[in-house]
Structure 1
Amino acid sequence: MTVLANNPAQITDLELVQKCQQGETYAFRLLYQRYEQKVRGTLYKLCDNQLLDDLQQEVFLKAWKSLPKLRNGEYFSTWLYRICWNVAYDYGKARKRDRTKILNQVKESMQDLARSTNHHQTGLLQLHYQDIVQTALQSLSLEHRAVIVLHDLEDMPQKEVAQVLSIPVGTVKSRLFKARKGLRQFLEQQGVNL
């Protein structure tokens, strides 16, 4: 355990997984610290910010419980993203989104921005565009949102995205094309020029 504590950045995922499988809880804490921001960011992009803490906790709880069954710790990050995707998918299935509500929120947000006349318009505009992009992501189906988030925002190669989502690479490419087109159309409808 002292070796882990002294050089946590130098130890590989595989070594940490093996230590976890031998009962070293400290090794899982290091894996958690290594991946918590990535998991949180991915969940935020897939599920918005409601219940984000609960969803993140669910991902790591499932990972902890399933870790003894993981055969190839070398692919821990891909495996963890798969768990993340499953949690997000279950959340998305349980909560159907009302597209009209999303569009009304965007319109209200744009009206608020238009009414704002203070000198901090640039900062407000950036926040507004971030909100619009997040809303645009939420307007996509979960399957299309997942490929955009994993490939374009998390910089994951298409092959790895296919592994995480358990779909062929060709399906990843097709969904990326449709998702980008959907995002572009949504943003243009909101007055964002691309």
Structure 2
Amino acid sequence: MSSLSAAQLASVSDEILVEYCRNGDRQSFQMLYRRYQQKVRSTLYQLCGKTVLDDLVQEVFLKVWQGLPKLRNPEYFATWLYRICWNVATDQRRRFAKRQTTSLDGLSESSAQLTAPQSGGLTSLHYKDVVQQGLQTLSLDQRAVLVLHDLKDLPQKDVAEILTVPVGTVKSRLHHARRSLRQFLESQGVQL
């Protein structure tokens, strides 16, 4: 099917890559993976933390590969992908909560050590760590809205579609999440 080179595939739209994938073209799927892997990883890190991040990223892309034949509107691939991220993150939080109720010795995710990416100066690393800790204090619903809208730059309409909630709910959660995160950061000495 695909006689396109890797360079040509890199400039092809998501919609066309999805169509190639539906016809079994693994090279097109690898291009979609390369295009979105870092975004998926970042989103899952912000929603779930670092603990099982690699497994969650693999789970998302496995679900993407399996679900591509059922994707009705390939032009909405990115929104669909973020919906899968949300579902995987939600499932992970449920598994984590279930383990917590069965094991009193488990560490809570919010107290787990978080390691910031190794870039920038010490101040930058500290700030990223504090922001990640602040995200962990939010409810999953608030965190998801904040991550998808403010950090991933998705429009509120797309966030509402991904989370299957009304746009008004997105706005409300966003307002409360921003306020809570701001209060947390200020309590940690971060000047805003």
Could you say which TM-score interval applies, normalised by the shorter chain? 0.7 to 0.9
Separation in 2 of the partners of 1:188 and 1:98? 23
Separation in 2 of the partners of 1:99 and 1:83? 21
Q: How do residues 97-116 of structure 1 correspond to structure 2 at under 5 angstroms? A: 98=108, 101=111
Q: How do residues 114-129 of structure 1 correspond to structure 2 at under 5 angstroms? A: 123-129=121-127
Equivalent pairs, count: 177
Separation in 1 of the partners of 2:191 and 2:147? 21
1:124, distance to aligned residue in structure 2 (A)? 2.3
The answer on whether the counterparts of 1:99 and 1:139 sit within 8 Å (CA) in structure 2 is no
1:73, distance to aligned residue in structure 2 (A)? 0.6
Share of identical aligned residues, percent? 58
Residue among 152, 159, 162 paired with 1:161: 159
Corresponding residue number in structure 2 for 1:142: 140
The answer on whether the counterparts of 1:47 and 1:91 sit within 8 Å (CA) in structure 2 is yes
Within the alignment, does 1:131 sit opposite 2:129 as a pair? yes
Runs ≥4 residues deviating over 3 A: 96-102
The answer on whether the counterparts of 2:41 and 2:57 sit within 8 Å (CA) in structure 1 is yes
The answer on whether the counterparts of 1:46 and 1:145 sit within 8 Å (CA) in structure 2 is yes
Corresponding residue number in structure 1 for 2:96: 95
**5+ long unaligned stretches in structure 1:** 107-121
Separation in 2 of the partners of 1:33 and 1:100? 30
Separation in 1 of the partners of 2:42 and 2:109? 23
User: Under a length normalisation based on structure 1, what TM-score does the superposition of the two structures give?
Assistant: 0.85
The answer on whether the counterparts of 2:131 and 2:185 sit within 8 Å (CA) in structure 1 is yes
Separation in 1 of the partners of 2:110 and 2:75? 44
The answer on whether the counterparts of 1:85 and 1:165 sit within 8 Å (CA) in structure 2 is yes
Structure having the higher Rg: 1
Moved more, 181-190 or 166-175: 181-190
1:185, distance to aligned residue in structure 2 (A)? 1.4
Letter in 2 for 1:141: S
Corresponding residue number in structure 2 for 1:183: 181
Separation in 2 of the partners of 1:157 and 1:40? 20
1:3, distance to aligned residue in structure 2 (A)? 1.6
Separation in 2 of the partners of 1:43 and 1:95? 14
User: Under a length normalisation based on structure 2, what TM-score does the superposition of the two structures give?
Assistant: 0.85
Moved more, 146-155 or 4-13: 4-13
Structure 1 residues 32 and 191, CA gap change in structure 2 (3 angstroms)? same
Q: How do residues 22-101 of structure 1 correspond to structure 2 at under 5 angstroms? A: 22-96=23-97, 98=108, 101=111
What CA RMSD, in Å, does the superposition of the two structures yield over aligned residues?
2.0
Separation in 2 of the partners of 1:100 and 1:29? 34
* Matched position secondary structure for 2:177: helix
Structure 1 residues 37 and 133, CA gap change in structure 2 (3 angstroms)? same
Separation in 2 of the partners of 1:146 and 1:32? 22
Moved more, 92-101 or 164-173: 92-101
The answer on whether the counterparts of 2:21 and 2:28 sit within 8 Å (CA) in structure 1 is yes
Letter in 1 for 2:61: F
1:76, distance to aligned residue in structure 2 (A)? 0.5
